[in-house]
Each structure stands twice: as structure tokens, then as C-alpha cells.
Structure 1
């Protein structure tokens, strides 16, 4: 908002940090659930249904959470974390993450649990980092373009809402994940 390139870089970094924390807050509890290897398919189906349910809820509930408007601009990383949680950004990755971490059906229970304990936390970190990097690069490039060529007034004059697109993408990812799991 103070129209300096340095502030833009700091803002994008704060948004990335908050988004990454939201990914971790969602992915790591599901990583812990993966230790229960014999229920992996059921956990993946439940996660896909949660993603679909959140997408359907967002289609019909278009109001933004009021608490997001009360977070001061000086706490941009906190706002990014809360916005990512409210929009289900981390939840969208769970069915994909669980699909990546599938165990072999012929493994014995203890061997599967050992493999999950050693590998899945690293995969969860990788998924969260890659997603955050992609979000940061694409959002940062758009923010730089608006800052450099269009100006900040462009945002107030031409704002458009992508909530329906986001809700539809949640439903689509959940449906694909559900089909793969079933």
C-alpha cells in the first residue's frame, strides 16, 4: 500500500508464510492419520468427501468471514493463514497427498506403518512447499504486474471475485480424488 517495490516483496513473503502454515496445519494431522495404514482408503474417501462438501458449501455461502476483515494489514501473514484456512486451501491438497502416499496392499501392518512414519512427513512438507511456491510465484507475478503497469487503483476499479471458481475447483478435485480412491 505504500507503493514501494520492497513492500511488495515483503507482502508476498508474508502471504506465502501464512499460506505455508495453513498447508502444514491441514496436511500434518492427515499424515498422523496415515499411521493407521489399514484404513487408508477410508481416510482418503473421507478427505475427498470433505473437499467436495466444502466446495458445495462455498457455492451456496458466498459471504466472506468477517474476522478476516478485522486483521490489520501489519499482520499480513496471519491474514494469509486465516484466509487459506477459511477457503480450504490445505484441505484441497489432502486427497492428492493421500493418493501419493498409498501403501502396497500386500505389506504387513507394521511394515506399512514404518514406511509411512519415515516417508509421509517428508512428502507432506514437499506438497506444502511446492503448492506454496506455485501460489507465491503466480500471485507475486500478478501483484508485480498490477503494481508496475496497472497501478493500485486498478484493483479498486476492476476487482472481480473468484469464489465460485474456487468452490468449483474444490468440488472437481474432491470428485477426482474420490473416483481414484474408489
Structure 2
């Protein structure tokens, strides 16, 4: 398996992990389905949650992709991004509380809630090392000509934003699929009472995931 394939698969796996995590919002979809007594309401609720998650991913990833335009700083940017993700993970280990502001958002503002929840949990930051790894894989210029090489480098710098948006989109699709499976299983078969009885606290696991993602970015940049 190539390193590029491994990075894309990691992005999909992280998306599935985000979707299964109840902190990203799928219990809200279950509650809405139970309130309206319609299965369609479960999936309808997931759409604004997915939109907010996508926006949060893009806001976190695109600024780092712009920074990669400074090709001479690329290595330092990768190391700094990895260190930032590790530090945020450590912070979440020490301070796992959820922001109180999330509880004050009206139910009609699901996309806004999802955006803030994903941002507060550092969900976008978790993807940064993998996105940077994809952007750092430079194509080879044909013929080895200096002019062609300069053109390729220029295109690479400008295409980093496209890679960031592609990462955000693929990741969000995986998140929505996993969230839909979890929400439907709880709505149709298990019930919300099962979640309160059987689900364990994922805050420390989530924080550990941030630390692992950041460490992977640092190792990949060395």
C-alpha cells in the first residue's frame, strides 16, 4: 500500500471515528426521530450536523494549506502543526469539559452547533497532520527541466487548498455514514436508554486520539 493510499484511508477512518463519537451530535438525530416518530427525521437531522462538521474541517485545514505555499517553510510547518495537535490533545486530557456555550444554542441551529462542537473538540486539528502529509508529496516534473520544476512547485502550492477541501469532504462523508449507522441502530433497535447504560465516557479517548494524530504528524515530518 502506498503512503498516499494510507493517508486517505486514515482520513476515512478518522471520519468514521468522528461519526461514532456521540459528542459530534448523532444523539440529537435520534432524539429528533423519537420526537417526530419518523425515521426520516433521524437522517434529516444529520444533514445540518454534517454541514457544520464540514465547515469546521475546512476552517481548520485551509489556513494550513495556505501556509504550505511557503515551500521553504514546509518542514517547519509540518512539525509545528503536529506539535499543536499534541498540545491540544494534552489540554483536552487535563480539561475535558465541554464548552457551556454549546448548551445554549437553539435546536434550530444544528449546523452552527455542529460547527462549534467540532471546533471545540479539535476535530479539524486531528486531520491537519494527514492533510499536510498529502500536500507534501510533491509530483516529479517531466524531463527534469528547471522551468518545468518551478511550474510544478507553483501548481503544488496552489493545489494545497484543493487537497484540504477534498480531505474535508471525504472525511465528512465518512463521518455522516458512521453517524447514520449509529443513530439508526439506536433509534430503531437499541433506544436512548441503551446509550446511557452502555456508552462509556469518550473524552479521554478523544484527547488521546489527538495526541496520537499529532505525534504521527511529527514522525512523518522527520
Matches within 5 A, 1:5-154: 5-102=39-136, 104=138, 111-117=152-158, 119-154=159-194
In 2: Cα distance, 1:115 partner to 1:90 partner: 22
Contact 1:37 1:103 (8 Å CA) reproduced: no
Does 2:218 correspond to 1:178? yes
Cα distance in 2 for residues equivalent to 1:105 and 1:17: 32
The answer for the alignment partner of 2:21 in structure 1 is none
Q: What SS class does the counterpart of residue 53 from structure 2 fall into?
A: helix
Following the alignment from structure 2 to structure 1, what is the Cα–Cα distance between the partners of residues 129 and 100?
29
- 8 Å contact from structure 1 (residues 38, 109) kept in 2: no
Any stretches of 5+ residues in structure 1 without a counterpart? none
Query: 1:156, CA displacement in angstroms?
Result: 4.0
Equivalent residues of 2:54, 2:168 under 8 A apart = yes
Q: How many residues align?
A: 181
User: 53-62 vs 122-131, which deviates more?
Assistant: 122-131
Q: Secondary structure at the match of 2:108?
A: helix
Residue 153 of structure 1: how far off its partner (Å): 3.3
Q: Distance in 2 between matches of 1:29 and 1:164?
A: 27
Contact 2:62 2:164 in 1 (8 A): yes
Backbone CA RMSD of aligned residues: 2.0
Gaps of 5+ in 2: 1-31, 141-145
Alignment check: 8 A CA contact 1:34 1:40 kept: yes
Q: Is this contact kept in 1: 2:42–2:184, CA < 8 A?
A: yes
For residues 115 and 159 of structure 1, the distance between their equivalents in structure 2, rounded to whole angstroms, comes to: 44
Q: TM-score, normalised by structure 1?
A: 0.91
CA distance in structure 2 between the aligned counterparts of 1:104 and 1:120, rounded to whole angstroms:
11
